[in-house]
Amino acid sequence: MKKMIFSAVALVAFSFAGMANEIVEKKVEEASTERDCIAEAKAAIKYMQFLGADEADVLYVAQIVRASCEASK
């Protein structure tokens, strides 16, 4: 589901970008500094596990880290 949502957002961004070269250039710039949400979620999992969190809480934090990262894009 997240993959689909993420793809849909990317498609919309691409369509808008296709309207003008200036926008394409801007998107490319943005892409180069884009956050890696999967990496952030993985880092959160590692952090929680290191501190002995229960699996359910590890999942909870990984989910909110991923979601807030995606929302910030």
Partner 1 sequence: MFFLCPLYSQINKAIYSVSINNKEDIDKTSPFNSYYKIAQENSNQFTFHLIFSKDSSDFFINDNLELEYHSFRMVKAFSRYQGFVRKTKNKTFIEKEIDNKTYILEEKTVYNWTLTTETKKIGSYNCYKATAEKTIKNKIIVPITAWYCPEIAYQFGPNGYGNLPGLIVELQIDNVIYGLKSINFDDNTIKFKEIDFEKIISQDKYDEIIKEKMKFILDE
Query: What is the sign, positive or negative, of the torsion defined by CA atoms of 23, 29, 35, 38?
Result: positive
Cα 17 from Cα 11, distance rounded (Å): 10
Site for partner 1 in 10-49 (CB under 8 A): 38, 40-45, 47-49
Query: Rule CB under 8 A: is residue 53 a binding residue for partner 1?
Result: yes
Tell me the H-state helices in 1-73.
2-19, 21-32, 37-50, 55-72
User: Which residue in the set 22, 54, 71, 72 belongs to the binding site for partner 1 (CB under 8 A)?
Assistant: 54
Q: How far is the CB of 34 from partner 1 (least distance, A)?
A: 15
Chain positions contacting partner 1, by CB under 8 A: 2-3, 6, 38, 40-45, 47-66
